[in-house]
Amino acid sequence: MEAFAIQPREMTCHTILRAAHEAFLRDVDRLAAAVAAGKGRAAHVRAGWENFKDLFRAHHDLEDRVLWPRVERAVGGRRVELAVLAEVRAEHARLEPLIVRVDAVMEQDGGDLRPAVAELRAALEVYLRHEETGALPLAESVLADEEWRALAEEARRRCEARTPMFVPWVVDGIAPIERSRFLTALPAPLRDLNRVMWEPHYRKRRLWSV
């Protein structure tokens, strides 16, 4: 996720994080559609699910270990702000068992995936919307530019290996105007790499196709 290093405040909160949130919801919707069609255990659906889990866990590891601790330090002992962060952390913690449940049912012959996927979808949407309306605006209000730059560097270090998958994954199937907004926010060399190498490789994986 080298894109974090470009425009720290705007890129981190408005472009990268929110674009990833929409992509997470899109992937779970794709899983739900595959399950409804009786193809929830197909190879490319499983590949899409594995990719979702990897990027989701990396994304939230970065938030839980890097972003939210910085925000907690910045708000000091202010109870209202700390309560917002505590609630977001609790909602995040509730998602992992739901992901594990989908995994478990997926491995069961004849197991009904629909309830597990529906519960995950509902909890994921609540969590992401709460983060976008509460925790991220709080972060934007209390973190100085140097904090965002430090976050950018940590994100680059932690996520660099995933950038070739992350960029084409975010823009997979999104509206042209949103795709253009996201890609033009990236440095030209990354856009070129995405066009020439990353997206062609991503398409060959045929994630979620059945």
SS3 (DSSP) at 12:
helix
Three-state SS at 102: helix
* Nearest residue to 115 (alpha-carbon basis) of 24, 49, 209, 31: 31
Domains of the chain are: 2-205 (1.20.120)
210: pLDDT confidence band, cut at 50, 70 and 90? low
* Cβ proximity of 125 and 25 under 8 Å: yes
pTM: 0.89
| 18 and 200 Cβ atoms separated by less than 8 Å | no
Amino acid making up residue 95: L
Residue with tokens 């790499």: 193
Task: Give the model confidence (pLDDT) of 157-181 as tens digits.
Answer: 877 888 899 999 999 999 999 898 8
In this predicted structure, the answer to whether residue 14 has a pLDDT above a threshold of 80 is: no
Report pLDDT digits (tens) over 52-69.
999 999 988 888 988 999
